[in-house]
Amino acid sequence: MDTRLQPDPPKGDGDWALLQTRTDRSFWQQTVKAGEGRSITWFVIVRPPEQLAYDTFDEAEAMFEAMEDE
């Protein structure tokens, strides 16, 4: 993928990894250090002006794919 075409990561702490992108939305993984060598991971769908966060990859991916039907 041409990195010049990648969307900017959402605002927020931690490390962001782009998982998937479509013309109208992007799917991200956010990892935040929680201390003592631990981290917390969320999965975030950005479809401006919305930003939806999920605890599990499966739930977020299902929603990301379901948005194609809207």
pTM to 2 decimals?
0.85
Q: What is the pLDDT of residues 9-67, one digit of tens each?
A: 998 899 999 999 999 999 999 999 998 999 999 999 999 999 999 999 999 999 999 99
pLDDT at 70: 62
Q: CB-based burial of residue 41 (10 Å sphere; 0-12 exposed, 13-18 middle, 19+ buried)? A: middle
pLDDT at 68: 83
Q: Report residue 14: phi and psi, to 5°.
A: 90, -170
pLDDT at 7: 87
Cα angle, residue 11 at apex, residues 51 and 4 outer, rounded to 5°: 95
- Could you tell me what percentage of the chain is helix, strand and coil, using 3-state DSSP and rounding each to the nearest 5? 25, 45, 30
In this model, does residue 2 exceed pLDDT 70? no
Pick the residue with more confidence: 42 or 4?
Answer: 42
Helix (H, G, I), strand (E, B) or coil at 57: helix
How far, in Å, CA of 39 to CA of 34, rounded? 5
